[in-house]
Amino acid sequence: QVQLVESGGGSVQAGGSLRLSCVVSGYTYSHYWMGWFRQAPGKEREGVAVIYSYGGTSYADYVKGRFTIYQANDKYTVYLQMNSLKPEDTAMYYCAAQTPPIRAIMTPTSYNYWGQGTQVTVSS
């Protein structure tokens, strides 16, 4: 009964910052990969950032240099620090988890466990 609980979304103006949090409970295997995905109105859900069980990370091109994914030492909390936010970042942001191996690491269908999402709105 894996549960992912997200928080930290909100409304900000362009150029502002937010930090999203995802807390995992009920997880029986520690060597999982965790990621952040987002879905804007009228668009498909897309990968934003992923952190691997060994500490490596991957980012979508459109967030490189602005967003950072990292984990707490206990590995059961993952964060997404979002800086220099743009209106096009407006979306519902979801936390996801999956045990490796994963080939399509930025593809939503590769992940089995999902949070309910937290809304991020960036105004111009």
pLDDT average, residue stretch 92-117: 95
pLDDT average, residue stretch 82-109: 96
pLDDT at 29: 63
Instruction: For residues 58 and 80, give the distance between their C-alpha atoms in angstroms, rounded to a whole number.
Output: 12
pLDDT at 32: 84
Which of 46, 19, 25 shows the shortest CA–CA distance to 35? 46
pLDDT at 43: 97
Instruction: Please list the helix, strand and coil fractions of the chain in percent, rounded to the nearest 5, in that order.
Output: 5, 50, 45
pLDDT at 54: 85
What burial letters (b/e) apply to 43-70, b meaning 16+ CB within 10 Å? eebebbbbbbeeeeebbbeebeeebbbe
Answer whether residue 115 shows pLDDT above 70.
Answer: yes
Between residues 8 and 25, which one has the greater pLDDT? 8
